[in-house]
């Protein structure tokens, strides 16, 4: 089978690779669509979480091609997406309903992913696509689940006021989830004009450039929003979030921080009684909810797709994304 193989930092090659062999509790998936995630680009630039020499890609949909002997309730040709995180189901976290905190085993991050014709995964991670949900929408379920889990874990309640830093894929998803969940206001901070416009179209009340977030303070009677969602993960966005959020408010950290930075204003964090919450990876419930939101048309993930490419174009596309030479939001790879 052909796949986009991550052979070393700054090097992805299209290669002929062995088709994965499944064990009794796994299924083999013929991949139809796989999205390119910011974390794939991050791996390309600085190395994958465990080692290179894997196939990247964890946001995907496809059809069941082979079924392990112990797998029930599934048939060849079923249209599916997955939760790419594969927890052990037996550790402290898994036994306490906190499976996304189990040791990381993620398809396309620590194990071979879906930028290839076939991928295998343990069968309990499979989520069937309802008839009305397309393969493209199916490939957006995992990123949507991040937004769902972020809004839920933040403690947001209907009618609360919110601000979102960043209108990239996760920012635009978080805006839509907040809208579906009944936010009274959604203020968005984003530098790129095209992304600002899309944020407005998808439910933001007002958008601001990065230096103008202070206007949100005025619009909230100098109090600040109840919740701030940082979908960027830069030192400035964390600092600005602390200044912006109201006393006793909550900052949800969704954008990935991988580099150390100096944290100024820690006293403000204390004196304002701020709650800061981290998150990583999604649980099964968030994936099911994401799928429901798409099926019920409460969110629209399709406007986030700005380009469709073939597998052969993946090395160049990731190289371009890594240089920041783009205003793409989500690139989808159609695998034939
Ligand atoms: Zn992702
Ligand atoms: Zn576990």
The Cα 276–Cα 242 span in angstroms is 9
Phi, psi of 133 (to 5 degrees): -95, 125
Distance 37 CA to ligand 1 centre (A): 4
Phi, psi of 297 (to 5 degrees): 60, 35
Write out 7-56 in H/E/C secondary structure.
EECCEEEEEECCCCCCCCCEEEEEEEEEEECHHHHHHHHHCCCCCCCEEC
Distance 103 CA to ligand 2 centre (A): 6
pLDDT at residue 325, rounded to an integer: 61
For residue 257, CA distances in Å to 121, 144, 233 come to 28, 20, 5
The ranges assigned to domains in the chain are: 2-140+301-334, 145-278
Ion ligand 2 residues within 5 Å by Cβ? 87-88, 91, 94, 102
pLDDT at residue 324, rounded to an integer: 76
Q: What is the mean pLDDT of each run of 10 residues along the chain (336 residues)?
A: 92 95 98 94 79 89 98 96 96 93 89 97 98 98 98 98 97 98 98 95 97 95 97 92 97 87 85 95 96 98 97 96 84 96
Q: What is the CATH number of domain 145-278?
A: 3.40.50.720
Q: Do domains 2-140+301-334 and 145-278 have the same CATH topology?
A: no
The Cα 101–Cα 122 span in angstroms is 18
Distance 137 CA to ligand 1 centre (A): 14
The Cα 301–Cα 271 span in angstroms is 39
For residue 185, CA distances in Å to 102, 131, 191, 203 come to 35, 34, 20, 9
CATH architecture group of domain 2-140+301-334: Alpha-Beta Complex (3.90)
């Amino acid at each position: 089978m052909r796949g986009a193989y991550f052979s070393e930092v700054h090097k992805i090659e299209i290669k002929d690779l062995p088709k994965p062999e499944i064990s009794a509790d796994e299924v083999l998936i013929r991949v139809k669509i796989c999205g390119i995630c910011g974390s794939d680009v991050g791996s390309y630039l600085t190395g994958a979480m465990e080692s290179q020499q894997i196939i990247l890609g964890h946001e995907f949909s496809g059809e069941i091609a082979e079924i392990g002997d112990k797998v029930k309730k599934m048939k060849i040709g079923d249209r599916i997406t997955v939760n790419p995180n594969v927890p052990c189901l037996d550790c402290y976290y898994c036994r306490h309903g906190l499976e996304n905190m189990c040791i990381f085993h993620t398809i396309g991050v620590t194990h071979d992913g879906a930028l290839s014709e076939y991928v295998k995964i343990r069968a309990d991670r499979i989520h069937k696509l309802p008839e009305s949900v397309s393969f493209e929408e199916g490939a957006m379920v995992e990123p949507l689940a991040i937004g769902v889990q972020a809004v839920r874990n933040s403690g947001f309640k209907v009618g609360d006021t919110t601000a979102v830093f960043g209108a990239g894929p996760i920012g635009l998803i978080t805006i839509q989830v907040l809208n579906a969940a009944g936010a009274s206001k959604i203020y968005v901070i984003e530098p790129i004009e095209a992304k600002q416009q899309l944020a407005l179209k998808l439910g933001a009340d007002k958008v601001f450039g990065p230096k103008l977030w202070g206007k949100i303070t005025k619009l909230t009677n100098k109090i600040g929003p109840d919740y701030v969602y940082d979908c960027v993960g830069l030192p400035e966005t964390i600092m600005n979030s602390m200044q912006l959020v109201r006393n006793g408010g909550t900052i949800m950290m969704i954008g990935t921080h991988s580099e150390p930075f100096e944290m100024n204003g820690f006293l403000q964090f204390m004196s304002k009684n701020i709650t800061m919450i981290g998150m990583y990876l999604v649980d099964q419930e968030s994936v099911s909810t994401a799928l429901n939101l798409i099926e019920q048309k409460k969110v629209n993930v399709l406007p986030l797709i700005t380009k469709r490419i073939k597998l052969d174009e993946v090395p160049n596309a990731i190289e371009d994304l890594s240089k920041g030479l783009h205003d793409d939001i989500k690139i989808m790879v159609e695998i034939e």
